[in-house]
Structure 1
Amino acid sequence: MTLRFEADGVVLDIEGTTSSTGFVTDVLYPYSRKRFATLLAERGGEPDVARAVAQVRELLDAPEADLATIERALGGWLDEDRKVTPLKTLQGVIWSEGFARGDLVSHFYPDVVPVLRRWHREGLRLHVYSSGSVAAQLAWFGHTPDGDLRGLVDAFFDTENAGPKTAADSYRAITAATGLPAGRTLFLSDRPSELDAAREAGWLTVGLVRPGEPYSAQGTGDHPRADTFDEIDITTEKETP
């Protein structure tokens, strides 16, 4: 079945939507875990790292926490798959360098990239909103098996510059930043709680259900469902009354 929408822009989740969550947890998470200690010890004076360390101490309510304590906290959050901003910031730093060195190449489901290119050609404005940091998103889209896809995307949003993905105000903040009408912005995600928040902010929604993804058993609630991007048809032209 084809889902049809009138929209000016699409906002994309990554894990479970454009890309495999398993790739992130099985490849990227271990890669960052091995490098937290070195990053904290050798680059603590860099602004992004220093800010993240301060945020970890604040979350732990331990302003004097040493680097070993911070590393343990990061590892614990990683085990729990917590969407914690300082964890995502530090992972973004590590992953960006891993992608740049060629250690890492991102994953996209095979239906995604051709559709994103077509939507871009047709004038749809594409944005990304992920719990991973903007730095990680840029690295992800910049180092794919299909080349550098960053030129397809107008803007990237994360939990730091937009807010939590289950809060309607985060989607309102993205609406303000993009200038697109909420009612003509389509959000694609695999998590019903995120889709609920986007709809509360006035957005259009589609839930992606990919086999084997962590949220696939939940379905999409009362949101339209698609199994691939090929099932979504978008026109940018408004219907004439």
Structure 2
Amino acid sequence: MIKAIVTDIEGTTSSISFVKDVLFPYARKHLPAFVVTHADKPEVQHWLHEAAREDGLVSASLQEVIGLLLRWTDEDRKATPLKALQGLIWDEGYRSGEFRGHVYHDVAENLQKWKRQQIALYVYSSGSVAAQKLLFGHSDAGDLTPLFTGYFDTEIGAKREVDSYRRIAVAIGLPAEDILFLSDIVEELDAARAAGLRTTLLARAPSDCPAAGAHPCVADFSSITPD
């Protein structure tokens, strides 16, 4: 029986267009000024250093690191330092009311239902944990963060690597077979299944469900029956 559900965000709980057309452009536009004005803060300093280290830059100037982060943004690089800094920038956007986190209409009611069924709920996204909490905390369905037991990002590992899901199972403290992972990306589901997790593919357009896919496929959360 499923005792925990781990869900992806982009394309699963929230529209890809919200992430691509709202969040990413906002972060890119504000990144240079944010870095310059916050470079003295320890958390920002840490991630700037990590970005430079990851790219092999030695004694990089602030402008060089900014250029690196902008290039990673344009490449949609799943780099932990970039994701962490994006989360800090989005914090300002959410708190100023410039946007709210999009969630599909079926998401909140089913998360609440599963919570009532005593199923532990977790998030695993390439976006930072801070960014995940912001999206669900400022969602257009209200503050959904009380529903979640925990969050995982790329600090636990890349989403297409089997070991990432093994670590998640250990962190949750349940046998892998008692955990259901939800995503719209087949390669992520393949990795999760190889680690022993149960899996379900979200295809928000029902016609996108593979005819003979390796994972159960549904169009929305209402069609998921954890058992």
* TM-score normalised per structure 2: 0.94
Query: Structure 1, unaligned stretches of length 5 or more?
Result: 1-5, 236-241
1:111 is aligned to: 106
Kindly provide the CA deviation profile for residues 73-111 of structure 1, in whole angstroms up to 9, marking residues without a partner as x.
222222221211111000010112221222220101111
Deviates more, 1:183-192 or 1:62-71: 62-71
Distance 1:175 1:46 in 2: 34
Does structure 1 residue 136 correspond to structure 2 residue 128? Answer: no
Which is worse superposed, 143-152 or 37-46? 37-46
1:225 maps to 217
For residue 170 of structure 1, the aligned residue among 160, 164, 168 is 164
Q: 2:193 aligns with which of 186, 193, 199?
A: 199
1:94 partnered with 2:86: no
Change (3 A) 1:126 1:140: same
Q: Percent identity?
A: 46
The change in CA–CA distance for 1:196 and 1:222 in structure 2 (over 3 A counts) is same
1:115-164 deviation line (CA, Å, top 9, x unaligned): 1111111111000000000000010110011211000000011001x111
Quickly say closer, same or farther: Cα 1:120–1:85, change in 2 above 3 A.
same
Specify whether residues 130 and 218 from structure 1 end up closer, same or farther in structure 2 by C-alpha distance, changes over 3 A only.
Answer: farther
Q: Normalising by structure 1, what TM-score?
A: 0.89
1:221 Cα offset (Å): 4.0
Per-residue CA distance 1:166-204 (angstroms, 9 max, x = gap): 111111111111112210100000111110111111100
Structure 1 residues 211 and 66, CA, compared in 2 at 3 Å: closer, same or farther?
farther
Q: 1:220 to 1:96 in 2, by over 3 A?
A: farther
- Pick the aligned partner of 1:184 from 162, 178, 183: 178
Pick the aligned partner of 1:10 from 5, 18, 22: 5
- Distance verdict in 2 for CA 1:146–1:230, change over 3 Å: same
1:189-233 residue CA offsets vs partner (Å, 9 max, x unmatched) = 011111011111110000111239xxx587894111111111111
The partner residue of 2:78 within 68, 83, 88 is 83
CA–CA distance in structure 2, aligned partners of residues 218 and 63 of structure 1: 47
RMSD over equivalenced CA pairs, Å: 1.8
* Runs of 5+ unmatched residues, structure 2: none
Counterparts in 2 of 1:91 and 1:219: CA distance versus 1, 3 Å: farther
